Amino acid sequence: MLSRIAESLFWIGRYVERAEDTARILDVQLQLMLEDATVDEDLTCRTLLSIMGVEAELGPRLTSREVLDLLAYDLDSPASIASVLAASRESARRARETLSEPLWEAINTTWRTIPSGRFTTLRPPAVFGWVRDRAALINGTADATMTRDEGWQFLVLGRSIERADMTARLVATAALAASGSSTAWTSTLRACGGYEAFLRTYGGLEADREAAEFLLLDRVFPRSVVYALSRAEQCLQNLDSGGSRAGFQNDAQRLIGRTRADLEYRSLSDVLADLPNEMERLQQTCAAATDAIARRYFAGSEATEWHGGRV
């Protein structure tokens, strides 16, 4: 496969996942501010920006409106939903000849809502539902119309790395906030779309330790860190089906596999003892794996600028 096509599909997977995750996070956090008058708006807004890895020169006190503009509507903000959806469309345009017609239409139609001005007319919570629905449509169309070839592997690889990264950021934030908030882990579970699945898994028990275990280690919940890393690892294995009989020549697979095994084989108590730093290392692994993937598969293609505040 051409490196240009492979790179475009990889970034489509990441950008669409980033848009959906951003919508989920904003939906839960803004709703929390509306429902609980004791929530510090400025602190919550700064936490949101920290989750997204965004550094902005704003006033001494942040408002939800400012953060909403920065993370949802502002095309000039690389971390915004609007900017990320525009970037996904640009990646799709570069790989247009390899996309199915329904998949191209799903991505292009989603993007056209932004320059038309209709996107800015959508207000919370409707805008978040719209983003989740469009991401589901794009991912569902890809699932239904793409053959499981190399292009598919790169799309899912990008999606999985982004999902692991974002879940790690949410878990780290919940760990820092849990001591002062009884709703931190519940909010995080809702942001990941896993609250109901968590309650069914643990028989209705709501406890911080079990919530962390579910989001980190559950092997069948698609937004857990271990599930996402395992999926990324499998994609890399499929891309290197003729690899070495001993060890791994693929640096990205080595990085992801080692991190996944470290999480699964260590005791949960050890992981939870320093959870924010553990999640920081996981984010660094995702960034390093992305660099390794670019060196191995995308060499020679025009570099794609990451819209989202960080790799």
pLDDT digits (tens, 9 = 90+) for 116-128: 999 999 999 999 9
pLDDT of residue 181: 64
- How high is the pLDDT of residue 299? 79
What pLDDT is attached to residue 182? 62
Give the pLDDT confidence score for residue 310 in this predicted structure: 56
The residues, ordered by sequence, that sit 6+ positions from 134 with a Cβ below 8 Å of its Cβ are 19, 85, 106, 110
User: What pLDDT sits at residue 34?
Assistant: 82
- How much is the pLDDT for 306? 57
Give me the residues of the chain with pLDDT under 70, please: 1, 56, 178-182, 242-249, 300-311
Q: What pLDDT was estimated at residue 250?
A: 86
pLDDT at 130: 97
